[in-house]
Homo-oligomer: A and B are copies of this chain.
Amino acid sequence: MVVDLDVLEQNLERLAAYASKHNLKVRPHTKTHKIPAIAQMQMQAGCHGITVAKSCEAVVMAAGGLDNILVAYPVFGEAKANRLAELARDRQITVAVDSLTTAQGISYAAAKTGTLVRLLIELDVGMRRCGVSSPEEATALAAAIGKLPNVRFAGITCYPGHIWNRPEEQSAALAVVSDKIDAALSHLSAAGFECEIVSAGSTPTAFKSHMVRSLTEIRPGTYVFNDRNTMGVGACERSQCALRVITTVVSTAVPGRAVIDGGTKTFSSDRLLSGTQAGFGEVVEDPTIVFESMSEEHGQLDVSASDTKLCVGDKLSVIPNHVCACVNMHDRIWYHRNGVVQGSWQVAGRGKVL
């Protein structure tokens, strides 16, 4: 697994320029890479904090010097809440919640530790995964949070992860999200709850975030590397995909096929959610080669439409469908500039359990 540093840096700069133009803060989701050194590059590119998916990722990022961390997940469990409360001694910790139970757990841990944790209320804007369903529920939860010690209601958050439409349909879907957020903000405001933070995520819609009127910050993750999903939804070009998996052809015995030494344990088995919704990766050297199926350690290529005569030992570079899931299969990523390897990063946040 290798990353082109030039492309990575350009991706960071591109988002920073967009966000600056639209007066949006950027709090990138680091679950894409789980590497503190990349999070630090993001901070240097103007991000004002980071996002993580789990309390143990927060621990890893805090150890890597990151001091403004949002856990965009309804964290539940004493050990997890205690770790976050401890982290809040020296840094700003914010957690997304959608139930009083979760808020109470964090409040209890923070009160024991003597720290303050900020809470965002997650709003369901159409994905039907997490998040309160109505402005009334948001306000009721904000009021309940107001009575808990050592936590402070700081705003709302949502994840428009259901928007995988074709680019021309995204605008209408984002308008619905915008209206839902504004309805919640009005209801909260009428009850006396002002939102310092209005946060939304997702790379596919990152460069259309200004269409959601009231946002103060955005949380894209994938944009740092990009992938086939991002290309398929029209949110990046091929030249903006910073990460490749270098594979070796190990078998050409079956006519019309070639096998590379990467399967689901290298790429993950995530399907392509955008564009053609077909294939498990793009072969950079020859896009007419179809990456049609995988076993755990075998990638099966249909080479029947390709003029390339593959031989055992040939190297092929693959852009994965979903780079976050792919990175999570690896313990280390190598990085290069102009093809010269400069070093490697440990995927420090991978596989942690708390």
Q: Which residues of A contact B (CB under 8 A)?
A: 31, 53-54, 73-77, 98-99, 101-102, 122, 124, 128-133, 137, 161, 248-255, 257, 259, 261, 264-265, 268-271, 295-298, 300, 311-313, 324-325, 328-332, 351, 353
Contacts and interface: CB of A to CB of B under 8 A. Distances in A.
B98 A251 contact: yes
Contact of A265 (B74, B271, B311, B328): B328
Given A76-B261, A248-B77, A330 B313 contact: no
Contact of A269 (B98, B99, B128, B270): B270
A36 B285 CA distance: 39
B264 A268 contact: yes
Contacts of A98: 251, 253
13 contacts: A53-B297, A98-B253, A99-B251, A99-B312, A102-B251, A130-B251, A132-B253, A137-B253, A264-B270, A264-B325, A268-B269, A296-B324, A296-B328
A314 B252 CA distance: 50
Contacts of A324: 296
B133 A311 contact: no
B312 A102 contact: yes
Contacts of A124: 253-254
A269 B325 contact: yes
Contact of A295 (B161, B268, B269): B161
A254 B133 contact: yes
Contact of A76 (B54, B102, B250): B250
Nearest to A271: B269
